[in-house]
Chain A
Amino acid sequence: GAGVSQSPRYKVAKRGQDVALRCDPISGHVSLFWYQQALGQGPEFLTYFQNEAQLDKSGLPSDRFFAERPEGSVSTLKIQRTQQEDSAVYLCASSLLGQGETQYFGPGTRLLVL
């Protein structure tokens, strides 16, 4: 079946602009994760949803970052007033249940803030 999809694949934003990144998880997957991957680094956890509930947002770098999953399926990561240090690949992953389960990653959205 279809894997995790993300859109857009690439986004160029001017500093100060707001951006919205979309994630479509694998159908039926309860858990959804967002990670941020800087160039040449491993992914770093941002936030986690179980269905529509955001259970952990400890990795969000600032209050400019906001994520939602209102119907327990598609998720959106929003970054307000983007800054150059927000430039990274944003990865979404989903898993059937969560704990100790395989996380399936999407291709990521590469964000470049100029």
Chain B
Amino acid sequence: GENVEQHPSTLSVQEGDSAVIKCTYSDSASNYFPWYKQELGKGPQLIIDIRSNVGEKKDQRIAVTLNKTAKHFSLHITETQPEDSAVYFCAASRGNQGGKLIFGQGTELSVKP
């Protein structure tokens, strides 16, 4: 079945360093890949997304890369700040089925001041 694997499960960095989170997906029909940030007691919030016709997308300190051949996609956060500390989820969806999201297991990012 459809599956998304996410690594690492926890990541601790010093403020100002970069953080990288990687995901792989199994369904070759997936064509939409969002990343969500979830803070304690809140719902997931979209931070960036990428579609299969693009290899890379950047928004200020956040970038996402997609390798469709290898079925890998990654989140890169540069110049990390303490407020970046949260759980990050990658997800994948097909163009049909209403776009239901298949989520990874999450990465708990801790940015130490």
Contacts and interface: CB of A to CB of B under 8 A. Distances in A.
Nearest to A92: B43
Interface string A89-111: 00101010011111111111000
Interface stretch (B57-65, B78-86, B98-106): B98-106
Interface size class on chain A is 20 to 34
Contacts of B44: 43, 91, 105
A55 B98 contact: yes
Contacts of B26: none
Q: Which of B44, B100, B101, B105 gathers the greatest number of chain A CB atoms within 10 Å?
A: B100
Nearest to B93: A100
Contacts of B4: 42
Nearest to A6: B43
Contact of B101 (A56, A103, A104, A107): A103
A44 B96 contact: no
A82 interface: no
Task: Choose among A31, A43, A98, A108 the residue with the greatest number of B CB atoms under 10 Å from its CB.
Answer: A43
A112 to B, nearest CB: 14
A29 B109 CA distance: 32
B98 A43 contact: no
A67 B64 CA distance: 35
Contact of B100 (A41, A42, A48, A108): A48
Contacts of B34: 102-103
Interface in A37-74: 40-45, 48, 50, 55-56, 59
B43 A102 contact: no
A43 B101 contact: yes
A104 B49 CA distance: 13
